Amino acid sequence: MSGIDGLASQGCDSVRHIRRLVPIIALCASVTPAARAAEPVGRITGVGGIFFKSKDPKALMAWYRDVLGIKIEAWGGAAMAYNAPRHPPVVVVNAFRQTTHYMDPSTREFMIDFAVDDLSAFLDRLKAKGVAVLKRDDSDPSGSFAWIVDPDGTKIELWEPKGGPAPK
């Protein structure tokens, strides 16, 4: 087995391999605008949104606003710009085997990964608000990670891309 199929069969280890590919994918995407322009219309151009069910959507979005600091719009959701400082140049979409434990302790079928500019400062803010940090990992070649769980039980991955905290 090779390629993405081979990576997906490896479970949690595939995450590290895929993260190593993100800078390469971003570079390829940035140097091939002419090739993209030559492609026919009628194709996916990016992620337009992430939508999920909640037993109490208003309370959950208030938690995302009050605890994570995400600006919630009048219509009830968030609009996050791709051009934010230190935002990763791509959005990674990947499927895991149904038997993966990477999203534990969540029983949800998905996980949200938010990029942060300074993981240590962000975790300090979360701890001050009573949020338990499941784990932190500073050993990944693509950056530092930590994991929390939202009030609906969705595991959230926090990622500070390699390069260190944003200048203050």
CA 110/CA 132 separation, integer angstroms: 20
Mean pLDDT of the chain: 82
Query: pLDDT tens, 43-61?
Result: 887 888 889 999 999 999 9
Q: Does domain 3-161 have CATH number 3.40.50.2300?
A: no
CA distances from 40 to 31, 66, 79, 100, 164 (A): 18, 43, 28, 37, 39
CA 103/CA 107 separation, integer angstroms: 8
Domain limits, the chain: 3-161
Residue 62 contacts residue 56 (beta carbons within 8 Å): no
Q: Who's near 110: CB < 8 A, 6+ residues apart? A: 52, 103, 154
Query: pLDDT tens, 126-146?
Result: 999 999 999 999 999 999 999
Mean pLDDT by 10 residues, the chain (168 residues): 43 56 54 63 84 94 96 93 80 91 94 94 96 96 95 96 70
